């Protein structure tokens, strides 16, 4: 039977016998809609490709709206650095067993980076701020949002007064928030009031990215995967476990010098961890 070029393409790609099709065109010519009707599917585009359509979830719609708003209403910039993770890795190996015995939780990287952010905020307080109309709100306490991946998307529960917490307290708070997030029991209070956020794309293998601000916060730190790379140290090329760090900040509040100083403070903290952290 005769068919239109598009109908012929769909017939060929879907292995349909044209003799079984009824044509609705002139002289019984097979049209695209005739083929779709025979397939009983509406998931083929004009090129004959199989497609799947699904509605955006309400959460995805809210996230999409929020991301566009952030892009349009802030002056986002990202600065990068890299940290030698050797000292942190050794610290965890040395103290992990006793840490678990004492606190019942593992010492992870995230709590150490929360502490690094607290240290950096003490060095550059302007990062712990937000814009409210024509005013800048400077917070005296760091409430650190920690991004957690769930089946429904990313949520960012807040660890409040992180400067007053021990590593064990932070680890327990992260575990509690993660359990609530993944069971769908997150409350609005868990997600509000953050003054700075941390996201770890490294757990998915991300080597480098530019995290997007979590408004109205003026800064977010992006952690990435740890990779052994050759680096120059004291005139020699050595292999070190390195992590790229990314700080996205709102340039309306934080200038470039402050952003670089902030990220350098995090880097110095991670490369030279204070053993007094282990409580």
72-128 pLDDT, tens digit each: 888 999 999 999 999 999 999 999 999 999 999 999 999 999 999 999 999 999 999
Cβ distance 213 to 76 under 8 Å? yes
Pick the more confident residue, 53 or 62: 62
d(Cα 222, Cα 197) in Å, to the nearest integer? Answer: 9
What pLDDT shows up at residue 20? Answer: 64
**Using 50, 70 and 90 to split pLDDT, how confident is the model at 4?**
confident
What pLDDT shows up at residue 19? Answer: 61
Highest mean pLDDT among 2-6, 31-35, 45-49, 206-210 belongs to 206-210
The predicted model gives 144-173 an average pLDDT of 91
Using DSSP, state whether 194 is helix, strand or coil: coil
The predicted model gives 254-259 an average pLDDT of 95
Q: Is pLDDT above 70 for 15? A: no
Q: Is pLDDT above 60 for 129? A: yes
The predicted model gives 1-27 an average pLDDT of 76
Token digits of residue 102: 């004492």
Active site residue 251: yes
The predicted model gives 246-263 an average pLDDT of 95
What pLDDT shows up at residue 37? Answer: 73
* CA within 13 Å, CB half, 66: 12
* Segment (H or E) for 236: strand 236-250
* CA within 13 Å, CB half, 238: 10
Using DSSP, state whether 56 is helix, strand or coil: coil
* Segment (H or E) for 84: strand 76-84
* CA within 13 Å, CB half, 248: 20
Write the CB contacts of 273 (distance below 8 Å, at least 6 apart in sequence): 87, 88, 91, 112
16-20, 54-58, 103-107, 170-174: the lowest-pLDDT one: 16-20
- The percentage of residues in the chain with a pLDDT greater than 90, rounded to a whole number, is 57
From 33, 90, 164, 255, active-site residue: 255
From 33, 90, 164, 251, active-site residue: 251
**Using 50, 70 and 90 to split pLDDT, how confident is the model at 62?**
confident
What pLDDT shows up at residue 40? Answer: 60
Average pLDDT, the chain: 87
Q: Is pLDDT above 70 for 54? A: no
Pick the more confident residue, 175 or 54: 175
Pick the more confident residue, 277 or 122: 122
**Using 50, 70 and 90 to split pLDDT, how confident is the model at 41?**
low
Q: Is pLDDT above 80 for 259? A: yes
Active site residue 103: no
Pick the more confident residue, 142 or 41: 142
């Amino acid at each position: 039977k005769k068919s239109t070029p598009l109908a012929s393409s769909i017939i060929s790609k879907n292995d349909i016998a044209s003799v079984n099709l009824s044509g609705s065109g002139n002289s019984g010519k097979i049209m695209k809609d005739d083929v779709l009707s025979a397939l009983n599917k509406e998931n083929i585009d004009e090129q004959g490709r199989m497609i799947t359509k699904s509605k955006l979830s309400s959460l995805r719609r809210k996230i999409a709206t929020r991301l566009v708003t952030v892009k349009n209403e802030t002056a986002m910039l990202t600065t990068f650095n890299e940290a030698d993770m050797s000292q942190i890795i050794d610290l965890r190996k040395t103290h992990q067993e006793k840490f678990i015995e004492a606190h019942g939780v593992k010492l992870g990287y995230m709590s150490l980076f929360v502490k690094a952010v607290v240290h950096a905020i003490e060095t550059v307080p302007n990062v712990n701020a937000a814009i409210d109309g024509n005013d800048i709100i400077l917070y005296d306490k760091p409430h650190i949002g920690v991004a957690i991946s769930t089946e429904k998307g990313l949520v960012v529960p807040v660890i409040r007064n992180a400067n007053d917490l021990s590593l064990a307290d932070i680890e327990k708070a992260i575990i509690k928030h993660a359990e609530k997030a993944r069971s769908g029991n997150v409350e609005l209070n868990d997600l509000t009031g953050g003054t700075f956020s941390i996201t770890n794309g490294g757990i998915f293998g991300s080597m480098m990215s530019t995290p997007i601000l979590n408004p109205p916060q003026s800064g977010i730190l992006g952690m990435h995967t740890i990779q052994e790379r050759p680096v120059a140290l004291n005139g020699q090329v050595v292999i070190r476990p390195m992590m790229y760090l990314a700080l996205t900040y709102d340039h309306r509040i934080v200038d470039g010098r402050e952003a670089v100083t902030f990220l350098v403070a995090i880097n110095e903290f991670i490369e030279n961890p204070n053993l007094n952290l282990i409580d």
